[in-house]
Structure 1
């Protein structure tokens, strides 16, 4: 059995992952609409910067609903000059962990800010 406590860098990264997972669990608890995908990250070269990325498949309303619960704004704009699908996103800081939620709408979806 390996004693993980002997590696300070590994311990710090573990704490970062645990912080991100704890916040992700909280977000799932409070989100009115469930995201399709939840990713947590804490890179070995940035152990003090865990992050969370939530993807709402074809659900800009999921992004807007979570933004409302968190008290932040969601934005919507064309994905790119060559792709008119609407990219809806929000960013927030939750318990010191940066959170990004996003959705990419279908063709012809409306691009507006709330």
Structure 2
């Protein structure tokens, strides 16, 4: 599931490439589906891991390690990163997303499926 604060291009890409969790749970005959909230300081570098640390996305190495960024053309990524940089420098990002800064975890739709006996 894409992060709700993600660019529309990212949301569209992720919706197209990820199977709905209900279908995966059915295919695995999962008996339990649990939310997997993402801590603000999560050390795994997947896309939503930086929800409270957007400055991380300015690092090309972090973007290169993201399958989402790797699949988007530079014509989408470069202007978005320029806007993010400007918003961080001006304080706009922090004002716009002040509600995120008070959160310790976020539920971005990731789920842990438990199957078998």
Q: TM-score range by the shorter chain?
A: under 0.3
Higher relative contact order (CA 8 A, sep 6+): 2
Give the TM-score taking structure 1 as reference length.
0.25
Structure with bigger gyration radius = 1
The structure whose residues are more often helix, as a share, is 2
Give the TM-score taking structure 2 as reference length.
0.25
